[in-house]
Structures are given as C-alpha cells and as structure tokens.
C-alpha cells in the first residue's frame, strides 16, 4: 500500500512522508483529494474540519476513514453520512 500525507503545513506532511516511507506529500487536503493516486482519505483533522474534509473526499469519490468523533453534532454527522452515500464511497469512523 502506498502512503501519501497531507497537511495544511507542507513541511509537516513531508516530514511524515520521510519518516513513514510515504510516496508523496501534499500541502492541502484539497490537492490530496483530487490526486488520481489516492483511493481513500484518513481524516484526522480537528473536529470542526471533519464535515468540510469529508465532503471534499466524497466529492472526489474517495473512501473516507474519519477519526472520532465523526462530527461536532448530529446534524454534521448526518451530512457526512449523506455525502458518503450520495458519492457511493465507504465511510468508516475509527
């Protein structure tokens, strides 16, 4: 399995890629989501960004592994589930 790392801080993503033998690093989640080499996104950002990043992943047809809690509230959680269902991608909360 090829690993790719994304962060709002490119230097941080590059450091993780170097430490964990990653294939590449991205300085934004948007660029990672649209890269054709990416099949799934592991979202471990602050909780207030989960909805935004899950929607990005779903819109790009990327499977989603989302760090718990899924969202800040039930409404956001439902929106994430709906986005994954509409995009036909798998959603897992870890």
So where are the chain's domains?
A: 4-93
* % residues pLDDT > 70 (the chain): 100
45-55 burial, b if ≥16 CB within 10 A, otherwise e?
beeeebbebbb
Which CATH entry fits the domain spanning 4-93: 3.40.50.1950, 1.10.10.10, 3.40.50.720, 3.40.50.800? 3.40.50.720
Q: Rounded mean pLDDT of 17-26?
A: 98
Q: Rounded mean pLDDT of 21-27?
A: 98
pLDDT band per the 50, 70, 90 thresholds, residue 75: very high
Q: Quote the mean pLDDT of the chain.
A: 97
pLDDT in tens, 32-59: 999 999 999 999 999 999 999 999 999 9
**Which pLDDT value is given to residue 82?**
99
């Amino acid at each position: 399995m090829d690993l790719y790392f994304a962060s709002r801080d490119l230097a941080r993503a590059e450091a993780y890629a170097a430490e964990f033998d990653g294939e590449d690093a991205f300085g934004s989640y948007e660029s990672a989501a649209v890269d054709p080499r990416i099949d799934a996104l592991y979202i471990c950002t602050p909780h207030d960004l989960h909805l935004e990043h899950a929607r990005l992943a779903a819109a790009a047809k990327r499977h989603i592994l989302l760090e718990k809690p899924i969202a800040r509230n039930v409404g956001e959680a439902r929106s994430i589930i709906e986005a994954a269902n509409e995009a036909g991608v798998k959603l897992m909360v870890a």
